[in-house]
């Protein structure tokens, strides 16, 4: 069964003139039993008629409130009022009744809602009906005519000012409507201006340029041309610990630029704590802002936090020497521009981070190319040249000494096999397919095996049970390349007999040690000489460690071996993927 909830109907609100029209009928009806009682004309039939008339008045009031405001309803109500007035006259003495004024109930309502001419017509019709009815009851129309003439004169005198009230109410409503339309137009223009300025603010992806333009664009958004914007003073503050410093300003003397402010007190602290725009009449009593020379003459102060997503990085503050310049509209505009400024700063920061990451990846790729070229030159290229020389020498020996030629060819074959292993090891380190197909443990085991086969070093792998399974899959790629770089460094430079590669768990962290018993080195001297040597091996390991959210330490000294230790969380922050940057850097 399809059950649909219906929203309650919203009735159009009554205008003040309609409320007066509804209320005046109740005033007449309230006076009816009082006047009849004072004249000793109150009877049970008259009381019943009065109650019936009150019920009709209630129905008309509810109809009016419900939106039944057509002329047809108005004239029908006036006709019923006239008929009930005739009944009241008949029950209270006819031509001698003290209730002749009741014929004015309907016409007054018509005068309020439809004007003087319609009201005079309604009054004429009501009096005519009254005279005719009373004349029939009393068999004489002379007496009713005299009283009707008196009521007509009194009615005309009453309906004239009532109609004037309607006319003035209509004029006031039209003026109010014009004012509302102007206000709505002004609000739409302000909204359009904020959108336009926000678009200009978000065009730039340079952090410093956003800071420089945010203040000027916000000044344009919160101050109209009529409020003398040239007198506006403004400053943009960024937080640094418990202090705030000015990074952009408007109308500030040189001495004010050198100030910094405490963020725990005054308007700055209150704005940060409130998380919304705040207004003040002056900076008097604010120990921090009183030091700003440009703000001392200001009689309107407005400040808003630079906050987005629960992070507050600064405060935007403005002052103006004219009182009352900053109202609720200006506070809302400043809040919107402060939010847009924070978004623009966030976008600029992300863009800058992406640019730096791209540069870093390019450096890693270049380092990978240089290392590949260096390894090819020092290894397979030299070996291939030696193989060519031995093959040439063996060819010359074949005519003189066949046994010596066979021995030389054997040496060339051994060298070719070793060169093949070197090339395969290089391909493995560039793209370890086993890492993708079988995981980190198999990739590290293959790294240790190939290292031992290639160089003769004894590479020993120790992996604690369950540690690889607890490691987030997307982080295994980075971890492997850090291990591979550390093992290669030990293989090439340590002159070690043994290389140990250990993985273990420490709480929620992974600990990886790459240790050798080689000659060791001076860590500080090596770090300092990386730029001159054109090698980024150690830098690459540390940058990849940062991507893992961990720390890398190198403990070594000349003559006592080296220990490289990585400590990193087993799982990263939600939404991070540690494997992609490393793979991109290596390809």
pLDDT band of residue 534 (cuts 50, 70, 90) is: very low
How many angstroms separate the CA atoms of 103 and 84, rounded? 9
Query: What percent of the chain stands above pLDDT 90?
Result: 16
Q: Please, what are the domains in the chain?
A: 16-176 (no CATH), 204-353 (3.30.450.40), 431-586 (3.30.565.10)
From edge to edge, which strands make up the β-sheet containing 458-463? 458-463, 498-506, 509-516, 562-569, 551-556
Q: Is there a contact between 414 and 447 (Cβ–Cβ < 8 Å)?
A: no
Helix ranges (DSSP H) in 204-276: 207-222, 254-257, 266-274
Give mean pLDDT, residues 166-191: 63
Look at phi and psi of residue 324 and say left if phi exceeds 0, alpha if psi is from -120 to 50, else beta: left
Residue 365, CA distances (Å) to 437, 541, 583 in order: 24, 14, 10
Nearest to 435 by CA among 468, 476, 472, 395: 476
pLDDT band of residue 581 (cuts 50, 70, 90) is: very low
List, as one string, the DSSP characters of 276-325.
S-EEES--TT-TTGGG-GGGTT-SEEEEEEEEETTEEEEEEEEEESSTT-
Residue environment code for 87-123, b if the CB has 16+ CB neighbours within 10 A, otherwise e: bbbbbbebbebebbbbbbbbbbbbbbbbbbebbbebb
**pLDDT reading at 247 higher than 70:** yes
**pLDDT reading at 261 higher than 90:** yes
pLDDT band of residue 1 (cuts 50, 70, 90) is: very low
List, as one string, the DSSP characters of 25-72.
HHHHHHHHHHHHHHTT---HHHHHHHHHHHHHHHHHHHHHHTT---HH
**pLDDT reading at 199 higher than 80:** no
Nearest to 116 by CA among 156, 70, 78: 156
Give mean pLDDT, residues 273-283: 91
Sign of CA dihedral 289, 290, 294, 297: positive
Give mean pLDDT, residues 382-400: 82
What is the signed CA dihedral for 444, 447, 448, 454, rounded to 10 degrees? 180
């Amino acid at each position: 069964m399809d059950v649909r909830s219906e929203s309650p109907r919203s009735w159009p609100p009554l205008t003040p003139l309609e409320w007066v029209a509804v209320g005046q009928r109740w005033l007449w009806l309230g006076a009816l039993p009082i006047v009849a009682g004072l004249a000793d004309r109150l009877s049970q039939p008259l009381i019943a008629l009065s109650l019936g008339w009150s019920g009709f008045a209630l129905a008309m009031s509810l109809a009016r409130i419900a939106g039944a405001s057509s002329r047809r309803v108005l004239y029908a109500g006036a006709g019923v009022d006239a008929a009930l007035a005739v009944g009241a006259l008949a029950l209270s003495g006819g031509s001698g009744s003290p209730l002749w004024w009741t014929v004015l109930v309907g016409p007054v309502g018509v005068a309020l809602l439809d004007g003087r001419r319609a009201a005079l017509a309604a009054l004429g019709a009501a009096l005519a009906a009254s005279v005719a009815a009373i004349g029939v009851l009393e068999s004489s129309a002379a007496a009713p005519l005299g009283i009707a003439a008196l009521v007509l004169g009194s009615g005309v005198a009453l309906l004239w000012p009532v109609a004037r009230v309607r006319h003035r109410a209509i004029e006031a409503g039209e003026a109010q409507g014009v004012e509302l339309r102007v206000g709505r137009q002004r609000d739409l223009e302000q909204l359009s201006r904020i959108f336009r300025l926000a678009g200009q603010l978000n065009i730039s992806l340079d952090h410093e340029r956003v800071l420089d333009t945010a203040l000027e664009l916000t000044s344009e958004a919160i101050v109209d041309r009529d409020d003398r914007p040239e007198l506006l003073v403004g400053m943009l503050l960024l937080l640094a610990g418990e202090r705030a410093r000015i990074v952009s300003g408007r109308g500030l003397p040189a001495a004010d630029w050198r100030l910094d402010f405490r963020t725990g007190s005054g308007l700055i602290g209150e704005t940060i704590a409130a998380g919304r725009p705040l207004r003040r009449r002056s900076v008097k009593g604010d120990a921090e802002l009183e030091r700003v020379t440009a703000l001392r003459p200001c009689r309107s102060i407005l400040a808003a936090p630079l906050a987005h997503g629960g992070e507050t990085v600064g405060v935007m503050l403005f002052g103006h020497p004219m009182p009352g310049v900053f109202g609720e509209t200006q506070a809302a505009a400043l809040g919107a521009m402060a939010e847009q400024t924070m978004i623009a700063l966030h976008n600029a920061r992300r863009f800058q981070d992406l640019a730096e990451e791209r540069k870093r990846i390019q450096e890693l790729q270049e380092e990978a190319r240089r290392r590949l070229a260096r390894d090819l030159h020092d290894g397979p290229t030299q070996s291939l040249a030696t193989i060519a020389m031995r093959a040439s020498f063996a060819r010359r020996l074949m005519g003189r000494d066949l046994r010596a030629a066979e021995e030389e060819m054997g040496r060339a074959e051994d060298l070719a096999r070793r060169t093949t292993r070197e090339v395969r090891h290089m391909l493995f380190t560039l793209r370890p397919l086993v890492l993708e197909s079988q995981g980190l443990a198999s990739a590290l085991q293959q790294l240790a095996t190939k290292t031992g086969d290639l160089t003769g070093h004894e590479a020993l792998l120790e992996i604690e049970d369950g540690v690889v399974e607890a490691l987030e899959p997307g982080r295994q790629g980075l971890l492997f390349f850090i291990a591979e770089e550390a093992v290669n460094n030990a293989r090439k430079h340590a002159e070690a007999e043994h290389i140990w590669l250990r993985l273990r768990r420490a709480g929620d962290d992974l600990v990886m040690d790459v240790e050798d018993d080689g000659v060791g080195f001076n860590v500080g001297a090596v770090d300092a000489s990386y730029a001159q040597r054109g090698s980024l091996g150690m830098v690459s390991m540390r940058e990849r460690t940062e991507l893992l959210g961990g720390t890398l330490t190198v403990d070594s000294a000349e003559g006592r071996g080296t220990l490289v230790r990585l400590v990193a969380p087993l799982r990263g922050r939600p939404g991070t993927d540690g494997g992609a940057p490393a793979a991109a850097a290596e390809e």
